[in-house]
Structure 1
Amino acid sequence: MHLASLPSRRAGARPDSPCLSDETVGTLTNEAFAARVEAASCVFATHGVARGAVVAVRLPNRTDLVVALFAAWRLGAAVTPVNPALAGAEVEYQVADSGSRVLVTHDGLSLEGVTTLAPEDLTATDAGVDVDPAEPDLDDLALLVYTSGTTGRPKGVELTHANLDAMTGAMVEALSLDERDHSLLILPLFHVNGIVVSVLAPLRAGGQATITGRFNPQTFFATLETARPTYFSGVPAIYTMLANLPLEVEPDTSSLRFVACGAAPMPAALIGRIEERFGVVLVEGYGLSEGTCASTSNPLDGVRKPGTVGVALPGQTVAVMAPDGTLVPLGERGEVVIQGPTVMRGYLNRPEETAQALKDGWLHTGDVGVLDEDGYLRIVDRVKDMIIRGGENIYPQEIEHAIHAHPAVLEAAVVGRPHPVMGEEPVAFVALKEGASLDEDELVAFLTERIAKFKLPTSVTFIDEVPKNPVGKFDKPRLRTAVAPTSASAVSSDEETS
């Protein structure tokens, strides 16, 4: 299925059925959504947007972002979503690197040589041109999603219409989505997870989506009870906050068929707490932008193994590879590699990095994993996060999961700190649940019964909140900077995380 024609097809089949909702416009029917997409495409066309162009969209979570996405596709153009929290120079870099000549933004940011449009500009009905829908090829660029840039300048991940077709088709099949499904979007729309899982997949299935703004655990369940979605997708940090709400919070979750988790591995203990407390089925998956979002998932109907991220999604092959390029036997650790129609075309204008990431026909994820005898994948850690202490390989996630098992712990992150003799040593940053108390000696004693002595953190820093990046993952580069020998900085919850 070519998603560019989705708005018109939905409008033709069921014009009065709900399509998208947000706090700004309320609910748009299929017919109203298609009309807005058509109007926006005409506006884009007057500013030179055509097949092969790239439109930059820098908006908070709102329907206008989805309208702009489909409007660009209607013209055969691609979209690069821009994190609205980025500083001006960071926005300028992404817009220039992507080759965008049109920027849709909510705050009037002006860049030299770039046409700036406000969301309200896209609703103009007097654009002066009539645009016939383009017929883009499935191999044409659809999305240009920029990585977080923790190892240098952010890279543009090139995702084609074929990638999106394969990914949304796999999500519809794996999650049994149909016209009765209604997703509640709580993740940022500048990230591929929010776009694919919470918007494109339900719309493709004939369902609808409600778009929310910034996640707030205090108001989330009120929104859920009003919207009555059948599912939502979150990250471990979101579920941690929900699990830590006061016990008197007893929301009505009866509309939910399931909830999903991605972006980072989720401790099995936290999955159990969420399922037991809120009476929901939590399906954990795994993927990355370079794979168009998801590559594995615990089955919705079938055996779910907490602590794993499930089995390969339809159409994809997931394996574990040794450093020499050979696939390792089941039960052995190695780098997770992926094949299939969801694998990116490459990194924009970065042939060497593309060749490295797609070496020998596999997408190299940089994650260390283990496949069990049933094909369930367990993510051990990131290759670059592994700590080598006196020749012993230590995976921080193993320590984090052990820390998380303590009833007083809300969240924990472990990084390596340089050591003059041992090479590196693990250090932990821990946030406690509200009202809980715990000291370093008590925590180390607790861990001594659960992990080997050489894995024990040599120091524990208690903080109000573990810093996270914009997609909810622990900001480990910042933590490593904080413990570097030359660093005088400290991690504090009062500082704004990047």
Structure 2
Amino acid sequence: MHFATVTASRAAAAPDAPAVSDDVRSLSNRQFDDAVGQAAAVLRSRGIGAGDVVAVMLPNAVDFVVTLFAAWRLGATVTPVNPALGPREIGFQIADCSAAIIVTGSSFLEKIPDDVSTVTEILEQQHSENGVVTEQLHRSADDVALLIYTSGTTGRPKGVILDHANLDAMSSMAIEAFSHNEASRSLLILPLFHVNGIVISVLAPLAAGGSVTILGRFDPRLFFERIEAVRPTYFSGVPTIFTMLANLPESVRPDTSSVQFAVCGAAPASAELLERFEQRFGIPVVEGYGLSEATCASTVNPLNGVRKPGTVGPALPGQTVIVVDEQGAAIADGRPGEILVKGPNVMRGYLGRPEETATTVVDGWLHTGDIGQLDIDGYLTLVDRAKDMIIRNGENIYPKEIENAAYQLDGVREVAVVGQPHPVRGEEPVMFASLNPGTTITADDIQTHLADNLAKYKRPVTITITDEVPKNPVGKIDKPALRRQLPATSPAS
């Protein structure tokens, strides 16, 4: 399926049914299709056509989704731009993908670099003189749909090339896994510049005939008011969001009866956190695993099957997930190894980086760089990122094991462990932790707890209590930022 056809198909099938809404606008299928046609006409008037790249730097709103489908109607590619980026970062992304135009709003104009010549506030210029693009030109499933830029924590961000076949495969997998249909109502709370927000919360429900409500900004104090007003059937979040919601005052007792499930992804979550959230609010949480290079998701705990807390579930329908050793041989006995993924959702490659593409996708297998274990039922447990592994005196230490142990202590809100260079031992683990409001535990209390649960060589040499553990724009804990806070090396001892 080519997603350029979706809005017209929905308008023909159920013109008055709800399609997309945000904090201020609500569009039926007919209105959605009309808005896409008008926006496509504006883009066409600026010379945009098949093969061009359209950069979209907008907040979470209906305008973003309309622009997405408008570009696809013209056969163009979209690269979402994080509005929180600085001018230099924006300029790099625009130049790297040779974007022909950037679609943005007036509040972001000052952030556009001077050398980016074309800026349009597309939805403020949908006038009748531009006409409406209604024709559905023949497109191919291998047309490039998205260029998703990675966070760039290990260097310059890379453009992940996803075509319409990738999006179709991923959406179909999500529809099957979550039993989406015309009654499905997604509440989007993740940023739309991220593939999770686009695919899991927008494309999948729309392809299934359902609808989407876009939350402009996530505020835990107001979130459940929105749940009660919109009555969504599901939402997708990251561990930080579930932590904030689970820590709301006990007086918050919302009506969550419409919500059939929630999805937790983008970063590992503790089983204790998800259980606490589910018990408090009565919303089943299924944890999944994936990455942009796999068009978002590769595994998920079954919604209607056996859920194994602490795992991220088995492979989604249509994908194969294996774990391999350092020689590339599949591991069948539960030992940890690198996670490899294969399926029609695997990216076409990195834009302009053939060498990195060749080492990342080998014979159709996506080498994720993540370390995991598969149990006898095929359920995946994340061990850590290969790059996050700490080697201390020749011993491999996985930060996630230490973090999981810390999460078992009441009062610990968020925790991150990173390696600090040491002149003799190579690296040593250090911990950063934030606490729940009103908690009186100390760093010494955490150390005592860890001493009861971990071997001595795994225990952090220091624990820093902080108000907030830093996050990147997607909501993941920002370990590179934590590493930058550390001295170049710790004293020899």
Do the two structures share a fold, i.e. TM-score over 0.5? yes
Decide whether the 8 Å contact of 2:39 with 2:126 is kept in 1: yes
Letter in 2 for 1:49: I
Decide whether the 8 Å contact of 2:39 with 2:123 is kept in 1: no
Deviation at 1:440, TM superposition (A): 2.0
Which residue matches 2:29? Answer: 30
Deviation at 1:131, TM superposition (A): 6.0
Deviation at 1:469, TM superposition (A): 0.4
Decide whether the 8 Å contact of 1:339 with 1:362 is kept in 2: yes
Which residue matches 1:77? Answer: 76
Residues in 1 aligned to 2:410 and 2:489: alpha-carbon distance in whole angstroms: 35
Which residue matches 1:419? Answer: 422
The answer to whether 1:344 aligns with 2:343 is no
Alignment of 1:211-290 (within 5 A): 211-290=214-293
Residues in 1 aligned to 2:308 and 2:321: alpha-carbon distance in whole angstroms: 17
Which residue matches 1:470? Answer: 473
Alignment of 1:350-429 (within 5 A): 350-429=353-432
TM-score normalised by structure 1 residue count: 0.96
Which residue matches 2:328? Answer: 325
Alignment of 1:45-194 (within 5 A): 45-106=44-105, 107-109=108-110, 110=112, 111-127=114-130, 132-194=135-197
Decide whether the 8 Å contact of 2:420 with 2:427 is kept in 1: yes
Which residue matches 2:464? Answer: 461
Residues in 1 aligned to 2:472 and 2:288: alpha-carbon distance in whole angstroms: 19
Letter in 1 for 2:15: P
Which residue matches 1:18? Answer: 18
Please, which runs of 5 or more residues in structure 2 have no aligned partner?
none
Aligned with 2:263: secondary structure? strand
Structure 1's 448 and 113: CA in aligned 2 closer, same or farther, altered over 3 A? closer
Residues in 2 aligned to 1:112 and 1:385: alpha-carbon distance in whole angstroms: 37
Aligned with 1:73: secondary structure? helix
Deviation sequence 1:293-325 (CA, Å, 0-9, x none)? 000000000100010000000110000011212
Decide whether the 8 Å contact of 1:103 with 1:114 is kept in 2: no
- Which sits farther off after the overlay, 432-441 or 307-316? 432-441
Decide whether the 8 Å contact of 1:330 with 1:370 is kept in 2: no
Decide whether the 8 Å contact of 2:20 with 2:28 is kept in 1: yes
Letter in 2 for 1:8: A
Equivalent residue for 2:295, pick from 287, 292, 295: 292
Deviation at 1:90, TM superposition (A): 0.9
Residues in 1 aligned to 2:473 and 2:116: alpha-carbon distance in whole angstroms: 28
Deviation sequence 1:321-349 (CA, Å, 0-9, x none)? 11212111230111101000000000001
Deviation at 1:122, TM superposition (A): 4.9
For the aligned residue pairs, the C-alpha RMSD in angstroms reads: 1.3
Residues in 2 aligned to 1:55 and 1:469: alpha-carbon distance in whole angstroms: 24
Residues in 2 aligned to 1:298 and 1:359: alpha-carbon distance in whole angstroms: 27
- Which sits farther off after the overlay, 308-317 or 329-338? 329-338
Deviation at 1:53, TM superposition (A): 0.6
Which residue matches 1:491? Answer: none
Residues in 2 aligned to 1:454 and 1:473: alpha-carbon distance in whole angstroms: 27
Aligned with 1:126: secondary structure? helix
Residues in 2 aligned to 1:121 and 1:246: alpha-carbon distance in whole angstroms: 41
Which residue matches 1:3? Answer: 3
Residues in 1 aligned to 2:24 and 2:97: alpha-carbon distance in whole angstroms: 29
Structure 1's 128 and 202: CA in aligned 2 closer, same or farther, altered over 3 A? closer
Deviation at 1:485, TM superposition (A): 2.5
Deviation at 1:361, TM superposition (A): 2.7
Deviation at 1:119, TM superposition (A): 4.0
Aligned with 1:330: secondary structure? coil
Decide whether the 8 Å contact of 1:45 with 1:131 is kept in 2: no
Letter in 2 for 1:424: E
Structure 1's 356 and 210: CA in aligned 2 closer, same or farther, altered over 3 A? same
The answer to whether 1:316 aligns with 2:319 is yes
Deviation at 1:128, TM superposition (A): 5.1
TM-score normalised by structure 2 residue count: 0.97
Aligned with 1:312: secondary structure? coil
Deviation at 1:445, TM superposition (A): 1.0
Residues in 2 aligned to 1:4 and 1:372: alpha-carbon distance in whole angstroms: 40
Letter in 2 for 1:104: V
Residues in 2 aligned to 1:326 and 1:161: alpha-carbon distance in whole angstroms: 32
Deviation sequence 1:196-230 (CA, Å, 0-9, x none)? 01100110111100001121111111111111100
Decide whether the 8 Å contact of 1:425 with 1:458 is kept in 2: yes
Structure 1's 73 and 456: CA in aligned 2 closer, same or farther, altered over 3 A? same
Equivalent residue for 1:442, pick from 442, 445, 465: 445
Residues in 2 aligned to 1:363 and 1:207: alpha-carbon distance in whole angstroms: 31
Letter in 2 for 1:302: G
Aligned with 2:130: secondary structure? coil
Letter in 2 for 1:76: G
Deviation sequence 1:212-266 (CA, Å, 0-9, x none)? 1121111111111111100000000000111111111111111101011000111
Residues in 2 aligned to 1:405 and 1:442: alpha-carbon distance in whole angstroms: 12
Letter in 2 for 1:240: T
Decide whether the 8 Å contact of 2:38 with 2:133 is kept in 1: no
Decide whether the 8 Å contact of 2:339 with 2:367 is kept in 1: yes
Decide whether the 8 Å contact of 1:381 with 1:396 is kept in 2: yes
Residues in 2 aligned to 1:166 and 1:202: alpha-carbon distance in whole angstroms: 14
Letter in 1 for 2:68: L
Residues in 2 aligned to 1:219 and 1:113: alpha-carbon distance in whole angstroms: 38
Residues in 2 aligned to 1:375 and 1:129: alpha-carbon distance in whole angstroms: 50
Decide whether the 8 Å contact of 1:51 with 1:136 is kept in 2: no
Percent pairwise identity? 57
Residues in 2 aligned to 1:129 and 1:230: alpha-carbon distance in whole angstroms: 33
Alignment of 1:200-211 (within 5 A): 200-211=203-214
Aligned with 1:424: secondary structure? strand
Alignment of 1:476-495 (within 5 A): 476-485=479-488
Decide whether the 8 Å contact of 2:360 with 2:368 is kept in 1: yes
Decide whether the 8 Å contact of 1:408 with 1:438 is kept in 2: yes
Deviation sequence 1:389-427 (CA, Å, 0-9, x none)? 111100001100110111010110000011122111111
Structure 1's 130 and 475: CA in aligned 2 closer, same or farther, altered over 3 A? closer
- Aligned residues between the structures: 486
Deviation sequence 1:64-103 (CA, Å, 0-9, x none)? 1100100010011110000010011111111111111111
